[in-house]
């Protein structure tokens, strides 16, 4: 249907030839193009509907207006489609239909968001430094116990010296396998520290994977978290042990003997108290240790694992020496066996033992022998006398066989065997007998 528009205007002259004659022109026009008349009720499409919205501007003609697109969202509610600029109407019907098509694709893909939905919270970029600090503050060991003070300090040092300088300001999700490889290849430190730094990075990012902070762990360098022992285990021979103990001041000799024959660590020895020793049963109970913190203080802590809490058999030849030491140097049930030289209630400092030990080993002609090697010596002696693997693990406080298996038959004995037997019964060696240790 055509709408006719009549225009009347006076013309100075027209085809009639009469000046001043008014002519009326009839202009046939069709609105809108294509023959369809704007319909405020709208037309239903395959998805949603579009309708013409007349302009409410004063003086606007009937054909002026914009198009609106409506649809039912995946939330079951009716919504109005919006243009890229956010407008709820469109200039043409085709624009409105295209908007419906885009919405339908989003709904089918599951990415549609209701126009009136609240704006998503801004995404917080978590840097490696921030995540690592939070990880360290909340990290626990098996059983839910917090990290030991020394362990926490060690991790903090690795982060500060090796990880944060490279990854600290980088977003956690932006750390890639190539970036880790470049960092690892350029890390200038010893093999042990390098392996420990990589292992810490891998563990932190492994936690991030578990928590959904990153999709995958970028630490994928095989063997990078392992290192060969920088120094081969070299336990003392019986003659070397006798020689170095003989060069120690008398008050330190029992400490070295127990380090060797009972395979105890320095921190375990310095926390031993009279109540931990049972001379009737011939045993010593290891339940605590003492470590020095970065600030110089001393902290008493439990062993690293449940296996570290153990009762160790004392070789029979050592019992009289321990009894004499307790009678002469230890006061009270909770008295320390090896306290500070200046205060019997304070723990011995590592530096104190180091000073006398270094002097003694030089005089004994064994400058290579470290105090911790005495523990290795005790492990080898137990293995050589036929201790089973389970006995060796129990004596050393190891939770896995791998650590105990570092003391094989290459040290001159049969090595640990899987058979019943008593370590205590086998330790009847006469080296450093009571009364003999001072004569070396």
Annotated catalytic residues are 265, 372, 375, 398, 407
DSSP tag of 235: P
Beta carbons within 8 Å of 248's beta carbon, 6+ residues apart: 256, 356, 357, 360
Beta carbons within 8 Å of 333's beta carbon, 6+ residues apart: 273, 274, 275
Matching residue, tokens 């225009």: 7
Count of Cβ atoms closer than 10 Å to residue 434 Cβ = 15
Q: Cα 332 vs. chain centroid, distance in angstroms? A: 44
Q: Where are the alpha helices (DSSP H) in 48-168?
A: 93-109, 128-138, 149-158, 164-167
Helices 373-384 and 250-261, axial angle in degrees (round to 10): 50
Q: Cα 29 vs. chain centroid, distance in angstroms? A: 76
Cα separation, 423 vs 421, in Å, equals 7
Cα separation, 272 vs 150, in Å, equals 19
Q: Which two tokens stand for residue 293?
A: 């913190």
Which H helix or E strand runs over 208? helix 191-210
Q: Which two tokens stand for residue 381?
A: 């002696």
């Amino acid at each position: 249907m055509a709408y006719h528009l009549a225009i009347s205007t006076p013309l100075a002259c027209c085809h009639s030839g009469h000046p001043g004659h008014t002519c009326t022109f009839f202009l046939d026009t069709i609105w809108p193009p294509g023959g369809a008349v704007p319909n405020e009720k709208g037309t239903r499409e395959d998805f949603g509907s579009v309708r013409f919205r007349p302009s409410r501007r004063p003086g606007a003609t009937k054909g002026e207006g914009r198009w609106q697109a409506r649809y039912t969202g995946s939330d079951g509610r009716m919504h109005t489609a919006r243009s890229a600029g956010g407008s709820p109407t469109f200039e043409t019907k085709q624009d409105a239909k295209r908007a419906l098509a885009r919405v339908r694709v989003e709904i089918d893909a599951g990415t549609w968001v209701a126009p009136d939905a609240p704006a998503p919270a801004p995404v917080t970029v978590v840097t490696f430094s921030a995540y690592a600090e939070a990880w360290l503050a909340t990290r626990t060991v098996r059983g839910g116990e917090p990290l030991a003070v020394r362990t926490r300090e060690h991790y903090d040092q690795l982060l500060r010296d090796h990880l944060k300088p490279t990854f600290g300001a980088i977003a956690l999700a932006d750390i890639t396998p190539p970036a880790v490889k470049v960092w690892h290849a350029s890390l200038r430190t010893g093999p042990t520290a390098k392996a420990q730094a990589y292992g810490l990075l891998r563990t932190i990012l492994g936690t991030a994977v578990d928590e959904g902070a990153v999709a995958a762990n970028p630490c994928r360098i095989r063997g990078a978290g392992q290192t060969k022992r920088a120094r081969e285990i070299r336990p003392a021979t019986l003659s070397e042990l006798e020689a170095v103990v003989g060069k120690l001041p008398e008050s330190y000799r029992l400490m070295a003997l127990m380090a060797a024959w009972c395979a105890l660590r320095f921190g375990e020895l310095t926390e031993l108290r009279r109540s931990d020793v049972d001379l009737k049963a011939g045993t010593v109970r290891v339940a605590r240790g003492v470590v020095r913190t970065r600030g110089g203080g001393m902290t008493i802590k439990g062993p690293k694992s449940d296996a570290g809490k153990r009762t160790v058999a004392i070789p029979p030849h050592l019992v009289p020496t321990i009894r004499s030491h307790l009678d002469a140097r230890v006061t009270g049930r909770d008295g320390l066996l090896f306290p500070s030289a200046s205060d019997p209630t304070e723990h011995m400092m590592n530096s104190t033992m180091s000073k006398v030990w270094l002097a003694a080993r030089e005089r004994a002609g064994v400058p290579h022998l470290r105090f911790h090697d005495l523990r290795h010596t005790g492990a080898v002696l137990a293995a050589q006398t036929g201790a089973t693997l389970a006995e060796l693990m129990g004596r050393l406080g190891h939770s896995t066989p791998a650590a105990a298996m570092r003391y094989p038959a290459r040290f001159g004995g049969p090595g640990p065997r899987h058979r019943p037997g008593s370590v205590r019964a086998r330790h009847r060696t006469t080296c450093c007998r009571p009364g003999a240790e001072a004569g070396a």
